[in-house]
Amino acid sequence: MSEHVVSAGPRVAVSSLTKTFPGTVALRDVDLEIRAGEIHALVGGNGSGKSTLIKILSGVYQGDPGGVVRIGDVVVDAESMTPEVARGAGVHVVHQDLGIFLDLSVAENMALGSEYDRHKVGAIDWRALNQRTRDLIKRFEIDARPSTLLRELSQGARTQVAIARALQLQGEDPGGLLILDEPTASLPEHEVSLLLDQLRRYASNGQAILYVSHRLDEIIAISDKVSALRDGVLVGTFDTSDLDENGLIQLILGKSLETTTLEKRPPGNVVLGADRVAVGPLREVSFDIREGEVVGIAGLLGSGRSELLRCIFGDIPARRGSLRLDGREFRPREAKDAIRAGIALVPENRVQEAAFLDHPIADNIAIPAISRYWRRGRISRRDIDRAGAAGMKKFLVKATNERAHLATLSGGNQQKVVLARWLSLRPRLLLLDEPTQGVDVGARSEIYQLIRRATTDGAAALVVASDFEELAQVCDRVLVLRRGELACELTGDDVNAHKITQMTHRIGDTE
């Protein structure tokens, strides 16, 4: 838990907040208080109402009549919340998708969050902008210069820039509310620690912070209070010091997480073999993966983890080296070659690269095999819907029906739809890039049950994850990438979070 002074009175108070959408109640009579200097965690499963609450506080949604929102001295009926009201009250939101521009400098990103400094004649005053940015860099302790391109910064430093951009107009007396929605989802472990330390310093200066994360260890480490939502209802608000991870799971799920022993089969024939493959930052990587195996890939951001998966999927060509699939030479020129060969990829960025948010669930599941549904020169809507309903049931997707648009689902259920799309084709090889990023603890368990079910049926799975605890729990072996090479392979008792961290960062003379 963080150590800092928390004010006696609330900076933010929400009372009797309800929000209904057609066919569902997203929030029901929620009361919540957040104090200045407090890091207040908000937890709940996918679909619990966390995103709806954040959108009301930021003015994107309006609450139903009867609710009241107070932020500092601003008091407004929940049905009258707007982005202008939220900004005026000092509400700032930093989303998992940071909304930064990688090919612009730190100074230019700061200016886009407020405005460009200008001379009297209207031209941009670069000297003033750079000085203002230097002041912000110093204030928020960012390791960069005003001229540094965002692309050159680590993911953690990019997050710091996004926070500084959001808070830049506050001055030295922090007011309002900073909302952080999954800020560490894409950060490697060592950058998570740096960011959490930074947030503690913000809170110690009086900043009120609402912190949303599915990473329970972070919640325990950083927050002063925890409020839990379940099915749109506030279960309660608790002192973090009175909770452990099991207690948080109880609050989120309403029960203990069932420890399901995932059925495994002995490794079978080699499904994929890679021989001296060079792609992206990787100079030469060789490994194989067998039927029934879940093999993890660990490495720092930029180590080539994602590039390796995309190379196997035919999305990025290898500079040299060769692949063999089921004993035969495999040279995919594009993704459709891999799909025809029985390879499936679940990419890291679900929203941008895998999900068709404005289409029904059934369509999202059917897309890679759409030719199956041609009947007499036209697509059979009935057959697609029937297959979608069956897929929802088989792959544990929770939604009103198969015609619901993907955008209406929680992140965890969206991810299960993407998995259902590929698992329904019974692939030989599953390539999974951060498959549980931004997914709650219950959905995470269900996703890995689905993956293990596929490997038990004879598939192989290659999993990239930044959460080394997760890799240790679900993988049979772990390949560690470091400095362009396959540094080592961990098996047996060495498949644990400590050893994976040690080998990824090359801590100690262990090789």
Residue reference for tokens 């059979």:
380
424-438 residue pLDDT tens: 889 999 999 988 876
Share of the chain above pLDDT 70, in %: 93
User: With bands split at pLDDT 50, 70 and 90, how would you rate the model's confidence at 394?
Assistant: confident
Q: For the CA atoms of 353, 354, 359, 365, what is the dihedral angle to 10 degrees?
A: 160
46-70 residue pLDDT tens: 778 898 999 999 999 999 999 999 9
Residue 509's pLDDT is what? 44
pLDDT at 511 over 50: no
220-245 residue pLDDT tens: 999 999 999 988 999 999 999 999 98
Which helix H or strand E contains 167, and what residues bound it? helix 155-167
pLDDT at 455 over 60: yes
Q: Which amino acid is at 304?
A: G
**Mean pLDDT for the stretch of residues 198-217:** 88
Residue 396's pLDDT is what? 83
Q: Rounded to whole angstroms, how far apart are CA atoms 289 and 268?
A: 9
103-133 residue pLDDT tens: 999 999 999 877 778 887 788 889 999 998 9
Task: Give the distance, in angstroms, between the CA of residue 374 and the centroid of all CA atoms in the same chain.
Answer: 36
C-alpha count within 13 angstroms, C-beta hemisphere, residue 257 = 17
Residue 338's pLDDT is what? 95
256-282 residue pLDDT tens: 655 545 566 788 999 999 999 999 999
* Buried-state track 288-312, b at ≥16 Cβ within 10 A, e below 16: ebbbbbbbbbbbbeebbbbbbbbbb
Task: Give the distance, in angstroms, between the CA of residue 91 and the centroid of all CA atoms in the same chain.
Answer: 22
- Closest C-alpha to 211, from 231, 235, 185: 185
**Mean pLDDT for the stretch of residues 166-186:** 78
Task: Report yes or no: 476 and 295 within 8 Å, Cβ to Cβ.
Answer: yes
Domains defined for the chain, CATH in brackets: 10-253 (3.40.50.300), 270-356+429-505 (3.40.50.300)
Name every residue whose Cβ is closer than 8 Å to that of residue 258 and which is 6 or more positions away in sequence: 445
At 75, phi and psi to the nearest 5?
A: -120, 130
Task: Report yes or no: 304 and 318 within 8 Å, Cβ to Cβ.
Answer: no
SS (H, E, C) 249-273: HHHHHCCCCCCCCCCCCCCCCEEEE
Mean pLDDT of the chain: 87
Residue 192's pLDDT is what? 81
Out of 141-145, 291-295, 341-345, least confident range: 141-145
**Mean pLDDT for the stretch of residues 290-298:** 95
**Mean pLDDT for the stretch of residues 383-393:** 93
